[in-house]
Amino acid sequence: MESASTKTGNGETLLRLFARAGSIASIGFIALIFIGEAATLRTGNALTSRDVLGLLFFPGGVLAGLILGWRWEGVGGGVTVGSLMAFYALLWAFDGRPPRGPYFILLSLPGFLFLLLALLRRNGQNSATEA
């Protein structure tokens, strides 16, 4: 018979697998977008400050968070989610509306999973110290 901690451990392992596989997929997809954009880049178009700030948060901060999440789930998840929120706030400030579609959130989803894993681990440690 399995104990409750074993079942929780299996659930966390599966969640970690989804977070890591999702981060690989997101990083790969973002890399493909940048490769395609670089191939069609025109030299006459300079980046605006809005563009640079936007790229700092997405994909810059999101990618950094997804990479950090492999080692430090809470930090990586926090960086990913924080960068996504900053990106949305930036676009709201410049355009008066958030980005259209769910794509930025979907590409950042592994960061939310990393954050959930960190919270589960933290709650598990608190339960173990109380017992």
Q: Mind listing the pLDDT tens digit for each residue in 30-55?
A: 999 988 887 777 666 777 888 889 99
Q: pLDDT of 72-89, one tens digit each?
A: 999 999 999 999 999 999
Provide mean pLDDT across the span 89-108: 94
| Residues 61 and 79 sit within 8 Å (Cβ to Cβ) | yes
Is residue 126 very low, low, confident or very high in pLDDT (cuts 50, 70, 90)? low
Q: Cβ distance 110 to 20 under 8 Å? A: yes
Burial (CB count within 10 angstroms: exposed 0-12, middle 13-18, buried 19+), residue 125: exposed
How high is the pLDDT of residue 93? 94
Phi, psi angle pair for 79, to nearest 5°: -65, -45
